Chains A and B, each alone.
Chain A
Amino acid sequence: MDMKKQSVGFYTTACSAILAVVGLVAYLINCGTDYFSNLGVNPAVVACLVIAVVVQAVYLVVTQKGTPIWTDVLPVAASVLLVVATLLFVSVRINGIASIMTFEGNAKTMADLTSAIVGIIGCLAATVVSVAASFFDTTKA
């Protein structure tokens, strides 16, 4: 891969993918914490994040040899998947967050909460960066 050829879209899309992976890892870690473990793993959150990262990877690879029109749907799809994952992530954690921030706050639950917050921020940042990336091509003309 010729890095000199890469444009803003490449770096921002890659950045978004990395953030999404961070969000995914944090989510999975959070699912294993004492406080949140009995909520289980929401397959929709995982699926959306994994597919979004795969889509972004495909987009980065395919567009190295040109930008066929069909590839332009990929950043749109990735962004939508990321925002859906973010919303679902928040929705399955919001009651727990509220409870920890009020009724059940202590050092342990706060630690458990941290991975949830990191994951949510990761997903949200991935979404924002992905949306921004969609305004740029991945390679220089």
Chain B
Amino acid sequence: MSKNTKGGRAAMRLWRGLTTVTAVLLAIALVGQVLVEGFRTDIDKFLGTQSSMIVTDESGDKQDLYTYKSDYSSTKELLDAIEDLGERMNEEGTVLLKNNGALPLTADETQKVSLLGFSSYYPVMGGDMGSSLNENHGTDADTVDFVQALTAKGYKINTTLQDLYKSLESVFTTEIESWGGTITYTRITAPSIGGVFSSKEPSQDAMTSANAGWKDTLNDYPVMIVTLARAAGENRSYMPGAAGVDPEQKLNQTDPLGLSDDERDLIQAAIDAKGANGKVIVVLNNSSAMEIDELKHNDGVDAILEIGLPGGYGFYGVADVLSGAANPSGHLADTYAVVNANSPAAQNYGNYAWTNGNPEVSMNSALVEAENIYIGYKYYETRYMDTVLGQGNASNAIGSADGVAWSYDNEVSYPFGFGLSYTTFTQTLDSLTVDLAAKTVTAQVTVTNTGDVAGKDVVELYVSTPYTDYDKQHGVEKAGVQLLDYAKTGELAPGASEQVTIVADVQNMASWDSTADNAIGTKGNYILDAGDYYFTIGNGAHEAANNVLAAQGKTASDGMTAEGVAANVKTWSLSALDDTTLAYTKTGVAVENHLADMDLNYWMGEGTVTYLSRSDWAGTWPKTYMDMTATAEMVDVLDNDNYTITANGNPGSVTFGAKNGVTLADLKGVSDIEDERWGMLMDQILLEDCMIRTGFGGTSTKAIESIMSPEVIQNDGPNGIYSYPLGQYANTDASSGDPCVVSPDDPNLAYHFGTMSNETVIAQTFSKEMAKEYGEICGNYSLWANLTIYWGCGTNLHRLPYNARNHEYYSEDAVLTAQQGTSFVQGGMKYGCLIAPKHLAFNDTEINRTGVAVFMTEQQARENELRGTQAIVEDGALALMTAFNRVGCLTANSHTGLMIDILREEWGYKGLISEDFIQSANYAVLKEAVLNGVTMTCNTGESTMAAVSEKWNYWTVDNVSKDETLLAALKQAMTWQNYALANSNALDGLSSNSRLVSVRTWYDNLLTGLQVGFAVLTVACAAMYVMSAKRKEN
């Protein structure tokens, strides 16, 4: 081949190659355009762009279009308020568990602090994935860790120790396995699902190797604060007992929530070093109750503070509590057991796979909650009372720590509701009245500060209801004591008194009786048993139990742990069983059994599961239900395909696409859903709109032009509205009339609001006012950030400490959960923020959460988990999220008993409902979910029927439009969704003449430019190739 020919071929190769490059880039740009349509929602959220917007032409005062007003005039004021609340939340939510007088520290002592334990320097401030801490820098509310907070508050800490721990960072890093490698955290983390806990506390040898003289420095800094942490996280779980601990470690750790030898050694080293002037204060940085009985009984430990996960500002509050600038008033939201794994609930916590599971339909495992109603203190205090009363075989060894006999002192370190103060209080139960007509229990309690420093106190009102022969015969269980309601005093000066009035709901002392007749002739009713009801107060459930026992004539000689105060007990008697007072809910709907299929015995026959009964603790102690095989009937339900779209009814009777001239803005603030204008508006909506929007509701509700419904952004929580920075959707249009308009150069626009103390801390405040304040702050933030929907109110109960997601939920107790949640949601609603309870319901484990079938009795369901959400809904919540798990065999989204009969009917819920982040089309059960009142799944996609039909192939206009039942459900779902939006701040700034306009984003323009550019280049390169070929030929 000649040189010229070679050169010609080389040119051809070059241009062929370049043509390939440009053609590939052109293909990317063209396919990218198609893909952008499918992911536009997510892209816009990620980039902060908007592909559509609603334009309002208003000639009058535009400020009138804004219904809700912020309490703050600038983002600085807003962030200052968040910071202040975060600090106060941990002042009131920190629980002083033990104090021999070591706390508070003197001013001199604050200058001699040695922080021990790596978690002092690298604390757990939020969860992992869910409720993670957003660190903020350069804003008006920068977040702080423990050291920064102490420094800011004027403490002086031992810097030698600080340097030592810094040098040991690699020792206590935690690695989480992820695809393609590991994620490294420089703090403790909770185990991944199936993983085990590894203690990371450096050994004494490691510390001495790092600095041989570290112990000497303790002489100059003898106030030793030892932080022990256990982390939390969504999709994380601790496993009970030694099985949950890294077997490679030989640290004498019997439970992931118990202590390791390295932690014990550290505490002992502190005790050994403290001398005459030193102090050892243990700080617990956790949201799952730890096993700390050894610390309680260790005289060398002077004080124990439980601080929860304090978020970005809570350490300011902790610092104030340590110094006495704030007096602790927190009380435990969970029981701190000696051995967590000994509880009846712990007998069924794990991965119990079906023997005939089917991953294609997310049929993975079952969880039988055989403990019945007895979780948390309802177990420990009830069993305790039965040991004293000598009933129910309560002293049997089963479930005991020593394996000999069950004894309260051996089982519980600190009871639910317990907390100390730097002062002392007396409480007297002055009066108590039960008004069944009004369905209230009213208690008046006088609280007196008998100490010498000011402080707040918590009044906890408990009730002990009669456990009768009727109950035993009908399988009705009763907790020995249960929290009925609570209140917190204002700050009381020494010697000052305050009379607190609590008006509790009788509902909270009623029992669900699945066998009882009801008002409509079926079975299932709330009952109030005949007998004596004991009402009392106490610093925790155990003190209340002792008071009740004292009123029943028992003393320490009967086996009580301490004498009770009978004077603080009021009794009320019911002469006959009452099955009428609570036969109808607040909405006037008669109650009946709706969750019978949650009982595994319903499916597999009576006797399959024995639920725990206080009538015989030993004989009914839960066994572990594992290796189960679902019956054919169950499998038929577990496949999730439980509704067949058919031609039925008169589809033409369901109107779509009418021209009534109404817009959603015309119904702004219309709270009567029966208002005829709702019908007129919703007749305008197109069937396609309903089908697309129910299918693709993830991350935001998208605009619906036929009714002029705006896109409304959704946010995760609960530790703040953190999905997007403050500025991503903030209004910078000064001409809009928006009172919350921001300047584009506002330094706070980068602020991320994942900074609040976690829910367990909020529960520990026992302050509805604090919970409400948090709701109000969220409401204000919602106005400034234009973020309306907030999945921020975790209401699942702490069934066990092992659920590493407990930081997103309040408590083991339903009443505390419901009351804090109600206050929180109501606080947000004042500002039009839709704060949603989640996850309805029974999301009690993160193990196999997509598909786990949860079984329990209806009494347990209604009196525990559902009671934790019921009041929030009944008081008007307008947003809600369902659970990943199944309710019995059905997905939570498709359980008619739960979603329609209880939620929509009994509780009267009228708002929007999103599924959790379920991406499987089969498990998202779109058609079944819509029929059960779900208004949107959490999927996203192109706003076309083609896209939604591709995801759910049954979801076509032809198919659905013949099914009147489904058409009506679709329209109803969209009515509920838009009703919620109309009663939120999402419609602020909108008027009747608002219109939807499409917006070409910068990335649309970029793609178009790239398409044109690469097309030209491709043609040019191809042309050059042809020319090269011709030259070669010539």
Residues of chain A touching chain B, judged by Cβ–Cβ distance below 8 Å, are: 34-35, 37-39, 67, 69, 72, 75-76, 79-80, 83-84, 87-88, 91, 94-96, 99-107, 110, 113-114, 117, 127, 130-131, 134-137, 141
| Of the residues B27, B194, B361, B850, contact of A80 by C-beta under 8 Å | B27
* Cβ contact within 8 Å between B360 and A80: no
Give the nearest-CB partner of A102 in chain B: B129
The distance from the CB of B280 to the nearest CB of chain A, in whole angstroms, is 39
| Of the residues B16, B178, B920, contact of A38 by C-beta under 8 Å | B920
Does B72 touch A at the CB level, under 8 Å? no
* Cβ contact within 8 Å between A69 and B1029: yes
| Of the residues B178, B180, B920, contact of A105 by C-beta under 8 Å | B178
* Cβ contact within 8 Å between A75 and B16: yes
Chain A residues, CB < 8 A from B35: 87, 91
| Of the residues A34, A100, A104, A134, contact of B360 by C-beta under 8 Å | A34
* Cβ contact within 8 Å between A38 and B360: yes
| Of the residues B32, B194, B921, contact of A87 by C-beta under 8 Å | B32
Does B6 touch A at the CB level, under 8 Å? yes
The distance from the CB of B722 to the nearest CB of chain A, in whole angstroms, is 14
State whether A104 and B179 are in contact (beta carbons under 8 Å apart), knowing that A95-B939, A96-B919, A99-B917 are contacts in the complex: no
* Cβ contact within 8 Å between B180 and A117: yes
* Cβ contact within 8 Å between B179 and A110: yes
Give the nearest-CB partner of B30 in chain A: A84
| Of the residues B31, B235, B850, contact of A84 by C-beta under 8 Å | B31
State whether A107 and B16 are in contact (beta carbons under 8 Å apart), knowing that A102-B129, A141-B6 are contacts in the complex: no
The distance from the CB of A95 to the nearest CB of chain B, in whole angstroms, is 5
Chain A residues, CB < 8 A from B158: none
Q: Tell me the bound Cα distance from A84 to B27 in angstroms.
A: 7
* Cβ contact within 8 Å between B235 and A104: yes
State whether A127 and B235 are in contact (beta carbons under 8 Å apart), knowing that A37-B360, A106-B194, A136-B13 are contacts in the complex: no
The distance from the CB of A122 to the nearest CB of chain B, in whole angstroms, is 15
Q: Tell me the bound Cα distance from A117 to B179 in angstroms.
A: 9
Q: Tell me the bound Cα distance from A97 to B620 in angstroms.
A: 44
* Cβ contact within 8 Å between A83 and B24: yes
Chain B residues, CB < 8 A from A83: 24, 27-28, 31
| Of the residues A76, A101, A131, contact of B178 by C-beta under 8 Å | A101
Q: Tell me the bound Cα distance from A87 to B939 in angstroms.
A: 20
Give the nearest-CB partner of B951 in chain A: A39
* Cβ contact within 8 Å between A127 and B24: yes
Chain A residues, CB < 8 A from B920: 38
* Cβ contact within 8 Å between A107 and B194: yes
The distance from the CB of A40 to the nearest CB of chain B, in whole angstroms, is 9
* Cβ contact within 8 Å between A105 and B20: no
If A35-B359, A37-B360, A131-B20 are given as contacts, then 11 extra A-B residue pairs at C-beta distance below 8 Å, sorted by A number, are A34-B359, A75-B16, A83-B31, A91-B35, A91-B38, A91-B39, A103-B234, A104-B850, A105-B235, A106-B235, A135-B17
Q: Tell me the bound Cα distance from A105 to B6 in angstroms.
A: 56
| Of the residues B24, B194, B850, contact of A79 by C-beta under 8 Å | B24
* Cβ contact within 8 Å between B20 and A75: yes
Chain A residues, CB < 8 A from B235: 102-106
* Cβ contact within 8 Å between A134 and B194: no
Does B12 touch A at the CB level, under 8 Å? yes
State whether A131 and B24 are in contact (beta carbons under 8 Å apart), knowing that A75-B16, A87-B32, A104-B850 are contacts in the complex: yes
* Cβ contact within 8 Å between A106 and B14: no
Count chain A CB atoms within 10 A of each CB in B6, B20, B35, B850 and give the residue with the most. Answer: B20
Chain B residues, CB < 8 A from A102: 129, 235, 917
A sample of 11 cross-chain residue pairs with beta-carbon separation below 8 angstroms, ordered by A number, consists of A72-B1025, A75-B20, A76-B20, A80-B24, A105-B192, A105-B193, A106-B192, A110-B177, A117-B180, A130-B20, A135-B16
Count chain B CB atoms within 10 A of each CB in A95, A96, A110 and give the residue with the most. Answer: A95
Chain B residues, CB < 8 A from A130: 20
The distance from the CB of A48 to the nearest CB of chain B, in whole angstroms, is 10
Tell me the count of chain B residues lying within 8 A, CB to CB, of chain A.
44
Give the nearest-CB partner of B32 in chain A: A87
Chain A residues, CB < 8 A from B1029: 69
| Of the residues B13, B31, B917, B922, contact of A137 by C-beta under 8 Å | B13
Does B935 touch A at the CB level, under 8 Å? no
State whether A100 and B179 are in contact (beta carbons under 8 Å apart), knowing that A107-B194, A135-B14 are contacts in the complex: yes
| Of the residues A38, A80, A101, A114, contact of B23 by C-beta under 8 Å | A80
Does B21 touch A at the CB level, under 8 Å? yes
Give the nearest-CB partner of B848 in chain A: A106
* Cβ contact within 8 Å between B31 and A88: yes
Does B19 touch A at the CB level, under 8 Å? yes
Chain A residues, CB < 8 A from B1025: 72
Does B1 touch A at the CB level, under 8 Å? yes
Q: Tell me the bound Cα distance from A79 to B177 in angstroms.
A: 35
Does B9 touch A at the CB level, under 8 Å? yes
Give the nearest-CB partner of A116 in chain B: B179
Chain B residues, CB < 8 A from A106: 192-194, 235
Q: Tell me the bound Cα distance from A69 to B9 in angstroms.
A: 11
Chain B residues, CB < 8 A from A38: 360-361, 920-922
Q: Tell me the bound Cα distance from A100 to B28 in angstroms.
A: 26
The distance from the CB of A45 to the nearest CB of chain B, in whole angstroms, is 12
State whether A95 and B919 are in contact (beta carbons under 8 Å apart), knowing that A35-B359, A141-B6 are contacts in the complex: yes
| Of the residues B28, B177, B179, B921, contact of A113 by C-beta under 8 Å | B179
Q: Tell me the bound Cα distance from A94 to B235 in angstroms.
A: 19
Chain A residues, CB < 8 A from B917: 99, 102-103
Q: Tell me the bound Cα distance from A107 to B916 in angstroms.
A: 21
Chain B residues, CB < 8 A from A136: 13, 17
The distance from the CB of A98 to the nearest CB of chain B, in whole angstroms, is 8
* Cβ contact within 8 Å between A141 and B27: no
Count chain A CB atoms within 10 A of each CB in B9, B23, B35, B192 and give the residue with the most. Answer: B23
Q: Tell me the bound Cα distance from A110 to B179 in angstroms.
A: 6
The distance from the CB of B579 to the nearest CB of chain A, in whole angstroms, is 43
Chain A residues, CB < 8 A from B23: 76, 79-80
Chain A residues, CB < 8 A from B921: 38-39
Closest 9 CB pairs of A and B: A34-B359, A135-B17, A134-B20, A106-B193, A134-B17, A87-B31, A76-B20, A99-B919, A80-B27
Q: Tell me the bound Cα distance from A76 to B23 in angstroms.
A: 7
Give the nearest-CB partner of B1032 in chain A: A69
Give the nearest-CB partner of A117 in chain B: B179
Q: Tell me the bound Cα distance from A76 to B1019 in angstroms.
A: 13
Chain A residues, CB < 8 A from B12: 72
Give the nearest-CB partner of A100 in chain B: B179
Chain B residues, CB < 8 A from A72: 12, 16, 1025
The distance from the CB of A29 to the nearest CB of chain B, in whole angstroms, is 15
Give the nearest-CB partner of B1025 in chain A: A72
* Cβ contact within 8 Å between B193 and A76: no
Give the nearest-CB partner of A88 in chain B: B31
Which B1-49 residues sit within 8 Å CB-CB of chain A?
A: 1, 6, 9, 12-14, 16-17, 19-21, 23-24, 27-28, 31-32, 35, 38-39
Q: Tell me the bound Cα distance from A135 to B922 in angstroms.
A: 46
Q: Tell me the bound Cα distance from A39 to B23 in angstroms.
A: 30
Q: Tell me the bound Cα distance from A130 to B16 in angstroms.
A: 12
Give the nearest-CB partner of A104 in chain B: B850
Give the nearest-CB partner of B953 in chain A: A40
| Of the residues A76, A110, A135, contact of B13 by C-beta under 8 Å | A135
Chain B residues, CB < 8 A from A113: 179
Q: Tell me the bound Cα distance from A80 to B916 in angstroms.
A: 38
Q: Tell me the bound Cα distance from A69 to B1029 in angstroms.
A: 8
Chain B residues, CB < 8 A from A117: 179-180
Q: Tell me the bound Cα distance from A94 to B177 in angstroms.
A: 20
Chain B residues, CB < 8 A from A134: 16-17, 19-21
Give the nearest-CB partner of B19 in chain A: A76
* Cβ contact within 8 Å between A114 and B129: no
Chain A residues, CB < 8 A from B360: 34, 37-38
The distance from the CB of A120 to the nearest CB of chain B, in whole angstroms, is 12
Chain A residues, CB < 8 A from B38: 91
Chain A residues, CB < 8 A from B234: 103
Count chain A CB atoms within 10 A of each CB in B177, B850, B921 and give the residue with the most. Answer: B850
Chain B residues, CB < 8 A from A135: 13-14, 16-17, 20
